[in-house]
Amino acid sequence: MVAERRSLILRGVLDICLLALLDDEQPFYGYELTERLGARDLLVSGGSSYPLLARLEKASLVRSEQRPSPSGPPRKYYSLTEQGREALDSGRAEWNAVAASVTALLNMPGEGT
């Protein structure tokens, strides 16, 4: 149950998480982004991150470019656009407001009993 809840929560903010990772002025390729999420205990499969990266690119929040890979086919590197930076700022504010409200509710003595 805990893993399911965590997965549902992450699914709702995965776009903001990817934008935050790209707010580094350094482009990253898709697998690298998935690995960086995993390093923060946010386990996401490529089946979740790649379609989302495509949607973010279609919405002009990220841009991509093909670069040669040291092994195998070229890799698609993603970077944040100005619109993406604005969406990230907005998403951070939304997340912080929701997180603060939920934290306050969960820490209220006697609520829900």
Q: What is the pLDDT of residues 44-95, one digit of tens each?
A: 887 889 999 999 999 999 999 999 988 889 999 999 999 999 999 999 999 9
Q: How far apart are CA 49 and CA 13, in angstroms?
A: 12
Confidence of residue 97 (pLDDT cuts 50, 70, 90): very high
Confidence of residue 112 (pLDDT cuts 50, 70, 90): low
Indicate the CATH number for domain 2-106: 1.10.10.10
Q: How far apart are CA 2 and CA 9, in angstroms?
A: 11
Q: How far apart are CA 88 and CA 81, in angstroms?
A: 10
Mean pLDDT of 28-48: 89
